[in-house]
């Protein structure tokens, strides 16, 4: 028995020893495999060492990459410019502007702009379809107060007359997605509220943004052409019959001159920034000169100029004095109109606020004169302020891509203002 137990113990010891030996052999084989893999990797690294660059080679490679990037950007810009509107363009930013040689400040001329190209685009882009479509936006206008709030049109009679004139003067060759009446509603709503094209596309029954923008620009130019007849000179008798009481001391005045500046987005090129920057507003602006009668009727609008243009330069270009009678008519102007010599040469009396100059105090007569002029001018300035506030597109910064349509925008806004009720009541006239 003792011998059997001893043999069992020996067998167990031999089994454990055998297991330990086999485990050691397996570990040793795994270690050998890992060493072989490491040796192979190190051999590969030694066979293909990392390339070393000199400073000159790195600089050349960097400049080559920069050249490729610049060429790629230039090609993209050229493609974008080719899809834009044709016209005279500035050298740097390729934006349509027209320079006036007589004066250094830039003048925008939308009359030579792309009216024909817009018409052809509306006929060929494919926004016309056959069939009747229900428009949601017009259903929102239930009364004339809604019409004024949305479009700044005083009455449905005015809207209907504008629709009739547009159909007669500019008959549609194909059927649009929306009717002529709704085109006018959409365009005037854009001017009044400055609604984005994306929002207008939703309001007009999912019409695409591109189609809405094409319709807007086309209708805008047609409206400007029609409403320009509402911004025209009237006879002197008509002016005298509508003289406010605040002009009691200036009953020979037929014209009040004023300049209006509309803020725009910053141009991209330095030349345009110089021409459109207004030191008075400390902003980039487009500038118009308006001629207003004492009764508050806008009778003439100058072409658009960059904010750098002086009031005198715009006045001389517009040639306002040609329409006034020597020794009969008088004008009131802002302090910025330094036009004494021009008025004296034509025999027109100029009323303008008196400057102090080198004097410490104004004389009694000059102070009284300034008071009377200010009382008369404040009414006109209030009307110009209302003109800007009535149309959000003039109050907000105008996008740079709409700069070529600024003349049409301003003429349309002034025409609708002349069709609205005067800001003075009947008892405030002589």
Nearest of 140, 167, 161 to residue 151 by alpha carbon: 140
Question: pLDDT higher for 271 or 113?
Answer: 271
Neighbours of 13 (CB within 10 A): 10
Could you give the CA distance from residue 84 to residue 330 in angstroms, rounded to a whole number?
46
Confidence check: pLDDT of 117 > 70: no
pLDDT value at position 183?
A: 92
DSSP state of 206: S
Confidence check: pLDDT of 113 > 80: no
pLDDT value at position 376?
A: 83
CB within 8 A of 213, min separation 6: which ones? 197
- pLDDT per position as a tens digit, 22-54: 565 555 555 554 555 445 445 444 444 445 556
Q: Could you tell me the pTM of the whole model?
A: 0.70
pLDDT value at position 73?
A: 47
Question: pLDDT higher for 4 or 195?
Answer: 195
pLDDT value at position 47?
A: 47
What would the mean pLDDT of 254-259 be, rounded to a whole number? 91
Question: pLDDT higher for 386 or 399?
Answer: 399
pLDDT value at position 19?
A: 57
pLDDT value at position 223?
A: 96
pLDDT value at position 363?
A: 79
Place 13 in a pLDDT band, splitting at 50, 70 and 90.
very low
| Mean pLDDT estimate for the chain | 76
pLDDT value at position 74?
A: 54
Place 98 in a pLDDT band, splitting at 50, 70 and 90.
very low
Place 64 in a pLDDT band, splitting at 50, 70 and 90.
low
pLDDT value at position 301?
A: 95
pLDDT value at position 115?
A: 39
Confidence check: pLDDT of 72 > 60: no
Confidence check: pLDDT of 105 > 70: no
Quote the tokens at residue 337.
């109109």
Could you give the CA distance from residue 190 to residue 215 in angstroms, rounded to a whole number?
12
pLDDT value at position 107?
A: 45
Residue 134 CB burial class (10 angstroms; 0-12, 13-18, ≥19): exposed
Which of 101-105, 170-174, 184-188 has the highest average model confidence (pLDDT)? Answer: 184-188
pLDDT value at position 365?
A: 83
What would the mean pLDDT of 339-343 be, rounded to a whole number? 92
Please say whether the beta carbons of 196 and 160 come within 8 A. no
Tell how many helices (H) and how many strands (E) occur in the chain.
15, 9
Confidence check: pLDDT of 123 > 90: no
Cα-Cα-Cα-Cα torsion 135, 140, 143, 145, nearest 10 degrees, comes to -120
What is the SS3 assignment for the chain?
CHHHHHHHHHHHHHHHHHHHHHHHHHHHHHHHHHHHHHHHHHHHHHHCCCCCCCHHHHHHHHHHHHHHHHHHHHHHHHHHHHCCCCCCECCCCCCECEECCCCCCEEECHHHCCHHHHHHHHHHCCCCCCCCCCCCHHHHCCCHHHHHHHHCCCCHHHHHHHHHHHHHHCCCCCCCCCCHHHHHHHHHHHHHHCCCHHHHHHHCCCCCHHHHHHHHHHHHHHHHHHHHHHCCCCCHHHHHCCCEHHHCCCCCEEEEEEEEEEEECCCCCHHHHHHHEECCCCEEEEEEEEEECCCCCEEEECCEEECCCCHHHHHHHHCHHHHCCCCCCEEECCCCCCCHHHHHHHCCEEECCCCCCCCCCCCHHHHHHHHHHHHHHHHHHHHHHHHHHHCHHHHCCECHHHHHHHHHHHHHHHHHHHCCCCCCCHHHEC
What would the mean pLDDT of 178-194 be, rounded to a whole number? 93
Place 127 in a pLDDT band, splitting at 50, 70 and 90.
very low
Confidence check: pLDDT of 101 > 70: no
DSSP state of 178: S
């Amino acid at each position: 028995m003792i011998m059997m137990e001893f043999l069992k113990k020996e067998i167990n010891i031999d089994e454990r020893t055998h297991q330990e030996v086999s485990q050691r052999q397996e570990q040793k084989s795994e270690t050998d495999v890992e060493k072989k893999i490491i040796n192979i990797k190190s051999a590969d690294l030694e066979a293909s060492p990392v390339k070393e660059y000199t400073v000159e080679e790195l600089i050349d490679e960097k400049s080559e990459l920069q050249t490729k990037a610049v060429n790629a950007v230039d090609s993209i810009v050229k493609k974008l410019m080719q899809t834009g509107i044709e016209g005279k363009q500035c050298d740097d930013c390729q934006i349509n502007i027209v320079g006036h040689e007589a004066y250094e400040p830039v003048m925008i001329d939308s009359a030579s702009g792309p009216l024909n190209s817009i018409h052809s685009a509306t006929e060929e882009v494919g926004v016309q379809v056959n069939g009747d479509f229900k428009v949601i936006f017009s259903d929102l206008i239930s009364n004339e107060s809604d019409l004024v709030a949305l479009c700044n049109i005083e009455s449905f009679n005015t809207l209907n007359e504008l629709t009739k004139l547009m159909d007669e003067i500019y008959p549609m060759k194909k059927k649009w997605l929306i009717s002529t009446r709704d085109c006018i509603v959409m365009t005037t709503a854009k001017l009044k509220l400055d609604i984005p094209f994306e929002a207008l596309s939703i309001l007009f029954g999912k019409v695409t943004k591109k189609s809405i923008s094409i319709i807007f620009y086309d209708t805008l130019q047609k409206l400007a052409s029609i409403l320009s007849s509402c911004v025209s000179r009237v006879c002197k008798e008509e002016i005298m019959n509508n003289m406010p009481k605040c002009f009691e001391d200036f009953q020979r005045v037929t014209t009040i001159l004023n300049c209006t500046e509309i803020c725009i987005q910053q141009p991209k090129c330095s030349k345009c920034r110089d021409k459109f920057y207004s030191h008075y507003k400390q902003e980039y602006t487009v500038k118009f000169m308006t001629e207003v009668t004492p009764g508050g009727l806008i009778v003439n609008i100058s072409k658009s100029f960059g904010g750098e243009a002086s009031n005198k330069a715009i006045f001389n270009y517009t040639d306002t004095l040609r329409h006034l009678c020597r020794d009969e008519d008088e004008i009131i102007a802002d302090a910025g109109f330094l036009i004494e010599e021009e008025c004296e040469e034509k025999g027109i009396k100029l009323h303008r606020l008196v400057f102090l100059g080198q004097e410490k105090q104004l004389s009694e007569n000059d102070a009284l004169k300034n008071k009377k002029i200010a009382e008369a001018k404040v009414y006109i300035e209030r009307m110009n302020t209302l003109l800007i506030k009535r149309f959000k597109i003039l109050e907000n910064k105008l996008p740079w891509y709409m700069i070529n349509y600024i003349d049409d925008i301003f003429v349309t806004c002034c025409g609708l203002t002349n069709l609205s009720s005067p800001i003075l009541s009947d008892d405030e006239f002589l």
